[in-house]
Structure 1
Amino acid sequence: MSKQITTTIIIAVLMPLNLLAQFNISGKVIDKENHDILIGAHVSLNELNLITVTDENGNFSFENIKKGTYTLEATYLGFKTYSTDIKVTKDTKINIAMIMSSLMEDEVIVTASRVGEKTPLTYSEISSEELKRSNQGADLPFLLQNTPSVVVTSDAGAGVGYTGMRIRGSDLTRINVTLNGIPVNDAESNLVYFVDLPDLASSVDNIQIQRGVGNSSNGAAAFGASINIKTDEQTTEPFARLSSTFGSFNTLKNTINFSSGRNNNGFNFNGRISKINSDGYIDRAYSDLFSYQLSASWSDENDFLKLMIMNGKEETYQAWNGTPKDSLATNPTFNPSGMMYDKNGNFIGYYENEIDKYDQSYYQLHYAHSFSQNMTLTASAFLTTGKGYYENYKNDKSFSSYGLPSFVIGDTVIESVNLIQQKWLDNKYYGFNIAMNHKVGRFNLNYGGSWNRYDGDHFGIINWAEYGVPLNYRWYENTGNKQYYNAFISANYELNRHLNLFAEMQYRHINYSIDGIHDDLNDVTQRHLFNFWNPKGGIFYSINDNNSAYFSVAYSNREPNRDIYTDADEIQRERVTHEKLIDYELGYSHRNRKMALNANIFYMDYKDQLVMTGEINNVGNTIMTNVDKSYRLGLEGSAAFQFNRYFALDFNFALSQNKILNYVDYVDNYDADWNYLGQMENNIGTDDAACHSTDAACHVPTTDISFSPNIIGGLNFKVTPINHLDIVFQEKYVGRQYIDNTSTLSRSLDPYFVSNVNINYEWKQTLFKDLNFNLSVNNIFNSKYCSNAWVYKAIVGGEEYIEDGYFSQAGINFMFSVIVGI
């Protein structure tokens, strides 16, 4: 009897210890055909959300794994996905032999615009899984805001509609964006309007963000960063997925993704349909968005062919004027757009059709051919079309400003009228890219080129007036034609197992012409020709299995935007020159199975950077002018820790100084009755009153570059209390941003700190392939902040006069989504 009691006690004590026992899983990943080790293969335990990467010997391991049955999965580019169930009751060793895919993968189409693991450039990568967890209707910039040095903004205040982003203080005009290697930036403005590609994130397979000059073999010049987007997740299994999201501000998003899966003959068909509606946080700032994407591809062992069509339609109520600063405290959602007045200047309401409406389509054809394992050709042709307008109600506008005579009724001469105008853009952007990847011994070569042409028609229509204006009168019309081609060659040489050398040269030729009359009735006909050589080089040093370092130097040139030319008079057009940048990058990386650390120092040395100085042309338009010397100097860092199966942490930060040397500011000068007296130079200092007095007495050699915070930080803390449930706490800090280049405290955005919580639960059941629930609570502490602004300043009767617009962001708000996959 006593033995039975003793045995029972022992079992009772040992059983929970057995349940708590933890084991290790390890192994090696090789090519099944030739037994070569596969370095950098991704190995995962799906149930535990654990992922590791094989080291230079092909080895992997997971530590402290509880007893149980798990799905072990391995992926490697060019190989079929390996998946098996393993039962863990002790330390387990498993060797994975992967089978090379007999079909070419579509990753080859972005080879020319991507950098590899041993390229000495600064970059981050975002997978489709990361995007899915946060994709609840906001534009793509908001899904990228947790990457280093990124600051985002939304005109409507909630991430839907017109959005923008800056990387290292550089806006989208200086960020080269490509979609499957095809340029996305508008050829004239260099801007990217993600609102024209609603729900693009639902079509994305992965994104690579290169900070600094980057590897811009195609597209616009990268003066701050490059964002390389690849669409269509590749799968051998057919699927259909419905995502439905609703939340604050009457936001509703519905998306259907589907795929035939790649069959044995290499054919695959993918698609997406999305509809997004939101009232926005700002008054009347609604968004009505629709998009679809279709792609068909075929591949065999040596060839890949893909056709993709993507279309986006947007209608948004204008919110780009912002909220005047004096309204922020009492009415932060106030939107002055569309305000109407009677003849006596009394406010009578808002014009309901003060909208922006645009339709854009992307057509892409990609082909790749593998001559051998060491040589691959890729070629792409594309056509991007866009057509749309924005409409404004105009109060008391003079007939002469539209090239019309005064309206005469009997003996009465009427000089002005209320009217509705539309400004149109109808454009086509087309071209082709071609590139060759060639491995010769220790050399990995990429070389190729592209040819692109842009044809844009700009015109304005008065579609209603009280009197005196012909129906659909067109008061201006001009065309913009931009043709450019480039050629590039890059080489990565593996000197030994530790040291890689990198070099690249790009040549860009640009021929840009503008013909016709601008909206201010000035003739803007002009021609501009550029020839740019953009070299870069660097070294990558692998210290050991866990540590590496790199250094690079890159030189880049960038042509001025359309507005810089159309807003300048003839004398200033002759003065404006292109911008130049030398970018120095020094980085270090440490990785092991539980953490990853990255740090880099950058110095971006600008020559002739174009900035707003307050200077105007001879008809009163504000223009951008070249400043001789400016720079960005900073330290970026990021870290990721997987403490165990329950807790994970990643964070990033950027500390920087962003300066213009010997900057001179200009202000308009009026007398007390608003008679224009001309412009005055205003040397910048730190004292508002002194620096905006009529004698302009302040003399300080440097000033801060606008919208370039000295501190940016982000943090994600993930808790997985049970299998398939993730709770992520997100924090974002952005330091003070000056909204002009005068370093004036009263014209700056206060620092802000925003906290979000994201809860994701994957319900494992038998009815659906996937069933996910996601709840996001944004700005949980209801912070009041602005993320963007503009300002106009003048001197009137010796006193400072200010007009401005600030972009308030939403307080606490939520989004809830359900994703069903079959």
Structure 2
Amino acid sequence: MKLINKSILTVAITLSTASVYYAQETKDTVSTTRSKDIEEVILRGVTDIAKDRKTPVAVSTIKAAQILERQGNQELVELLNTTPSVYATKGGGGFGDSQITMRGFESRNIAVMVNGMPVNDMEGGTVYFSNWTGLSDVTSTLQVQRGLGSSKLAIASVGGTMNFLTKSADMKKGGVIRLGVGNDDYFKTSFAYNTGKSNDGWSSSILMSRQAGGTYIQNTDYESYAYYFALGWEPNKKHNFQFTLTSAPQWHDQRTFSPTIGDYIKYNPDHDNTPDRTYNSDWGYYTNSEGKSVSLANRSNYYAKPVMMLNWDFNISEKSKLSTVLYMSNGRGGGTGDLGSYWTGKFNSSGNPTTTNINSYRRADGTYNYDQIFALNNGLNAGTPYQVTDPVTGKKSTVRDGIVRRASINSHNWYGILANFQHKINDNWNISIGTDDRYYYGYHYQVVSDLYNANSYQEIANKNVVPYNVSKTYDYKQLSWNPFGGKTAPLNEQIGYSNDGEVIWYSGFGQVEYSKNNLSAFLQGSVSNQGYQRIDNFVQDGVTKQQGQTVNTKTGFKNLFGYNIKGGANYNINENHNVFANIGYYSKQPFFNSVYPSNFQVVNPTLTNEKIFSAEIGYGFRSSNFSANVNVYRTSWGDRWLRRTNQTFTLPDNTTTTGYAEISGITEIHQGVEFDATYKVTNFLELQGMFSWGDYYYKGNATGAAFDDNNNPLTLSGSSTSTTLYLDKVKVGGTSNNSIPQMTASLGATVKPVKDLSIFGTWRYVGKLYSSIDIATFSNEAAQEKGVMKLPDFNLFDLGISYKIRLKDAAQYFTVGANVYNLFDTTYISDASTNNFTKGVGDFKNNANATAQQQYDAYLSTLYKGIDPSNRVLFGFGRTWAATLSFNF
């Protein structure tokens, strides 16, 4: 195995490792005791790239050529949909809002890394792929390891590991210019150039790109930039330095609320009783001074996350090497939504429930009527003005009920160091030890984004500091390019909430590897400490009380210890057959919001680590024209804690309110079988296929509690604020606006009728697709029998073509390509948020006008493919397309 430039952790990992997954390994007899065998099994540095027929994990690899050829205007993670046990969707449909699950686990429990550097949010484990849209331009290899994976780090790779390996600074001299167009005004341009390595060991690489337009969904305009700069220096054979700077500042309008099936049908302009898959309930329009309609989104996202990395690889001797990386990430941005008493529809100035909320201001097409909302805020249609008292000065001011748009800021400063020392004892044994240390400070607060024609905003609860009346607004389309910037708003302009999260992480890891003849094995272990501190800027030291306790602005650090141990072995029976097995146990620290539940300054009294046990066995076959893999796995996840946001609750008095749910004591079982294969029929035809079957279910019951948006506990039934969730044997669904399939399959073909021409197509099947769990449904024991709502299976077809036009100079050529996604314009539900089951005759009461059977028959006629239309869902995109033209020189 050869590593270009021998750089381990940032920009210098290239196609020379995992991308030879099928092409070169088939001819390796691996039956000798050559010293290079240990080099091939070493999981170098901290990138932990799996080696075929060596590393005992389930792995899939996507090469740069596939990304450039097939991505078009898809989300980058959607390319993984043809790998076993992976389900990637577009989420709400906004730019970069994709969601992914692996073996039934969501992205917060999948370790996402860029050149081995963890990028999961240190507070909640989330990954916002809109922050990483520039990766598609600079990724040389995307490797996915399902299950616990081979990473040495103390990371939460419960479902698997995704490692994006970017292009190196010392690539061959040359450049590329690309142009892309697609549906809904998609337009992308990019330019990249590599200098190559000079005689003095210097090299550099640069990329700049811009894309803009909309997606398939209504009012999802966006603008995104990406920049990438890499500088390398290799003064001698002992030292190699690499510096990288990359970011993808963007803004995009969104659809974050999943509408009901009934609304998709109701607001279809064709009125043909079919759903309008493009419908977006999170926008509207108003009439400007010139009498023209102007669109306005109430849900948008904006972010810039510059990442800087400095690598140093030190070849101490022929047997010893030290790899170190320093990195920094300063993210700036947030997302918008609405605030105000008319938005929540919960209480008026007298503290009584209101009957009017923002949904009262919808037009006949389902969009918001901002002309009416502006009039409301201007006092033209509002109720009687009333006075509120400043709790500090005692001054009274006059306010009205109304609606404004807020921006919830989620910025951070993140610094870290990764170091790994490797030593080859002899031809068979290798050891490595290292450390992964990080510091994270997150800023969370709200500001006013648009006053909707009001003069200022003031909360009745007076959460913000003096002067309480806030008139400063922040436009989300003003991108932040400054990687060193601090908070964007002073405290007296913050509303709603203002809290910071501070996380200190330090860990150590070690690994022992063995390789001889046909056997390779490893044993890994790591320990880590995570310290969490919550800082609430609206809390007064020794004065504020929460949950019966007097709290301070700073909680002090709560330290949690965690560890993991895992190992595996691979045995090559001969040059065609190999078998492997791995096993591991994690004691995983919970996320930040489970340490300080209910958004309070009080530590969770039942806080405990989550326990994960996983085992897997696999078989591989390799020949000159056929390769296949079969894996069987089982993962048990106990003591899981979960928060579900954007929930709607029905209270005992039949009124509704919005809020969130917290669930503890969850145990999940994830087990299944995976198969994937590649068959090169001829030099002109290659087939690829996969199949995965899973059985994901909850074991035992759990405990849940509901809270409104102001963190007040809610009583859903009886008099208790907590409830038993009857989940035993219920299938695992998503935990937000997403669903999880337990059966997937795909079959693809690539045809090359003539040189430089490729025609490729893919069929994909998704089945056993289950909706999200929700606390309201499963607090009823009867719901346990019904389980989570199962969505209709679906089949999708994609088709693409690529042709290379070579010039006289071999280094110069044009490439033209086109892709059509969802070729047959299939209508399907990709995700769901609720579990409103189809009713039976007994659910209808007799009345003077119709019998229960007649009512039931009428009800059945309203169902959509057997699903109650009151369910909130996200429909997948219809037919879309993209075309590209590039010039390499």
- The one-character-per-residue Cα deviations of 1:654-691 (angstroms, maximum 9, x if unpaired) are 11100102235869899xxxx98633699xxxxxxxxx
Change in CA separation of 1:676 and 1:112 when aligned onto 2, cut-off 3 Å? closer
Secondary structure of 2:81's match? coil
Give the Cα separation in 2 of the matches to 1:634 and 1:55: 31
Deviation of 1:370 (Å): 1.2
DSSP-derived class of the 1:120 partner: coil
Matched with 1:14 is none
The TM-score, its normalising length taken from structure 1, stands at 0.78
The residue aligned with 2:317 is 372
Query: Which of 488, 491, 515 is residue 509 of structure 2 equivalent to?
Result: 488
Partner of residue 55 from structure 1, selected from 17, 20, 27? 27
Q: CA deviation at 1:419?
A: 2.0
Q: Structure 2: where are the runs of 5+ without partners?
A: 3-14, 265-273, 288-292, 352-384, 390-395, 459-468, 473-492, 652-656, 734-738, 779-783, 838-842, 845-866
Residue 330 of structure 1, CA deviation: 3.1
Partner residue of 2:335 out of 374, 382, 390? 390
Please say if 1:819 is aligned against 2:886: yes
The structural deviation recorded for 1:718 is 0.8
Specify the alignment match of 2:387 in structure 1.
408
Give matches, 1:245-324, under 5 Å: 245-299=180-234, 300-324=236-260
Supply the AA of the counterpart residue of 1:479: D
SS of the aligned residue for 1:791 comes to coil
* Letter matched to residue 661 of structure 2: I
Gaps of 5+ in 1: 1-28, 30-40, 60-75, 80-106, 343-347, 683-694
Match of 2:877 in 1: 810
Q: 1:555 aligns with which of 567, 585, 589?
A: 585
Q: Residues 605 and 50 of structure 1: is their aligned pair in 2 closer, same or farther, counting only changes over 3 Å?
A: closer
Select which of 150, 161, 185 maps to 1:226.
161
In structure 2, the partner of 1:779 is: 822
SS state at 2:604 partner: helix
2:110 matches 1:175: yes
Matched to 2:716, the amino acid is: G
Shift of the 51–499 alpha-carbon distance from structure 1 to 2, 3 Å rule, reads closer
SS of the counterpart of 1:142? helix
2:606 matches 1:575: yes
The question of whether the paired residues in 1 share the 8 Å contact of 2:329 and 2:415 is answered with: yes
Describe the SS at the equivalent of 2:501: strand
1:132 matched to which residue of 2?
68
Q: Secondary structure at the match of 1:416?
A: coil
Matches within 5 A, 1:446-461: 446-461=432-447
Paired with 1:245 and 1:369, the residues of 2 have a C-alpha distance of: 41
Q: Does 1:725 align with 2:751?
A: no
Aligned-pair CA distance for 1:379? 0.1
Asked whether the 8 Å contact 2:818–2:881 carries over to 1, the reply is yes
The 1:119/1:243 distance shift into structure 2, 3 A limit, reads same
Deviation of 1:367 (Å): 0.7
482, 485, 507: which one pairs with 2:527? Answer: 507
CA RMSD of aligned residues (A): 4.2
How far, CA to CA, are the matches of 1:124 and 1:681 in structure 2?
51
**Following TM superposition, by how much is the alpha carbon of 1:323 offset from its aligned partner in structure 2, in angstroms?**
2.6
Q: Hey, what's the Cα distance between the residues in 1 that align with 2:827 and 2:345?
A: 43
Query: Is the 1:112–1:435 Cα contact (8 Å) retained in structure 2?
Result: no
More displaced 10-residue stretch of structure 1: 761-770 or 289-298: 761-770
Rounded to whole Å, the distance in 1 between the matches of 2:183 and 2:605 is: 50
The CA distance in 1 between the partners of 2:115 and 2:26, in whole Å, is 27
Look up the equivalent residue of 1:369 and give its one-letter code.
F
Map Cα deviations across residues 186-227 of structure 1 (whole Å, 9 max, x no partner). 111211111112231210121221111113333631111111
Structure 1 residues 398 and 699: alpha-carbon distance in aligned structure 2, compared to 1, 3 A threshold: closer
Q: How far did 1:521 drift?
A: 12
SS at match of 1:575: coil
Deviation for aligned residue 1:414: 5.1
Measure how far apart 1:164 and its partner are: 1.4
Deviates more, 1:802-811 or 1:485-494: 802-811
Q: Does 1:213 align with 2:256?
A: no
Residue in structure 2 matching 1:641, options 676, 679, 688: 679
Question: What is the match of residue 83 of structure 2?
Answer: 147
What does 1:691-730 align with in structure 2 at a 5 Å threshold?
A: 701-706=728-733, 707-730=739-762
State the alpha-carbon separation in 2 of the partners of residues 760 and 384 from structure 1.
Answer: 37
Other structure's SS at 2:69 match? helix
- Answer with 324-333 or 221-230: which moved more: 324-333
Shift of 1:536: 0.5
- C-alpha distance 746-516 of structure 1, shift in aligned 2 (>3 A): closer
Alignment of 1:760-799 (within 5 A): 760-766=802-808, 769-791=812-834
Moved more, 414-423 or 640-649: 414-423
Residue 617 and residue 50 in structure 1: after superposition, are their counterparts in 2 closer, same or farther (change >3 A)?
closer
Paired residues, number: 710
Is 1:165 the equivalent of 2:100? yes
Q: How far off is 1:316 after superposition?
A: 0.7
- Check the 8 A contact 1:243/1:819 in 2, yes or no: yes
Q: Within 2, Cα distance between the matches of 1:382 and 1:507?
A: 21
Q: Is the 8 A contact 2:282 2:297 kept in 1?
A: no
Shift of 1:551: 1.0
Match of 2:71, as an amino acid? N
Could you report, residue by residue, the CA deviation over 1:145-173 in whole angstroms, capped at 9, with x for unpaired residues? Answer: 2222111111453x843111111111110
After TM superposition, the structure 1 stretch with the greater mean CA deviation from structure 2, 465-474 or 652-661, is 465-474
- Structure 1 residues 428 and 58: CA distance shift in structure 2, 3 A: same
Amino acid at match of 1:597: A
The letter of the residue matching 2:801 is I
Q: Is the 8 A contact 2:349 2:386 kept in 1?
A: no
1:820–1:50: structure 2 CA closer, same or farther, 3 Å change rule?
Answer: farther
What is the aligned-residue identity percentage?
18
Give the letter aligned to residue 450 of structure 1: D
Q: Distance in 2 between matches of 1:398 and 1:120?
A: 52
Mark the CA change 1:412 to 1:192 in structure 2 (over 3 Å): closer, same or farther.
closer
Alignment check: 8 A CA contact 1:283 1:335 kept: yes
Deviation, 1:325, is 2.2
Distance 1:341 1:663, change over 3 A: farther
Q: Distance in 2 between matches of 1:232 and 1:422?
A: 35
The corresponding residue for 1:543 is 573
2:177 — aligned with what?
A: 242
2:303 aligned residue: 358
The partner residue of 1:654 within 692, 697, 705 is 692
**Maintained 8 Å contact 1:119/1:492:** no
Q: 2:494 aligns to what SS in structure 1? A: strand
The answer to whether the 8 A contact 1:764-1:771 is kept is yes
Over 3 Å counting, the alpha-carbon distance change for 1:253 and 1:110 in structure 2 is farther
1:435 to 420, 424, 443: 420
Equivalent-residue separation in structure 1 for 2:142 and 2:877 (angstroms): 27
Q: Quote the offset at 1:385 in angstroms.
A: 0.7
- Separation of aligned partners in 1, 2:718 and 2:686: 56
Task: Report whether the alignment pairs 1:462 with 2:448.
Answer: yes
Amino acid at match of 2:65: E
SS in 2 for 1:195: helix
* Mapping 1:602-681, distance limit 5 Å: 602-611=633-642, 621-663=659-701, 678-679=716-717
Separation in 2, partners of 1:454, 1:548: 43
User: Which residue of structure 1 lines up, in the alignment, with residue 134 of structure 2?
Assistant: 199
Q: CA deviation at 1:292?
A: 0.5
Q: Give the letter for the 1:303 counterpart.
A: H
Give yes or no for contact 1:435–1:448 (8 Å, CA) kept in 2: yes
Q: Is 1:756 aligned to residue 798 of structure 2?
A: yes
1:326 is matched with 262
Gap change, CA 1:256 and 1:402, over 3 Å in 2: farther
Q: Is the 8 A contact 1:782 1:811 kept in 2?
A: yes
* Alpha-carbon spacing, 1:278–1:404, altered in 2? closer, same or farther (3 Å): farther
Amino acid at match of 2:499: N
1:272 Cα deviation from its structure 2 partner: 1.1
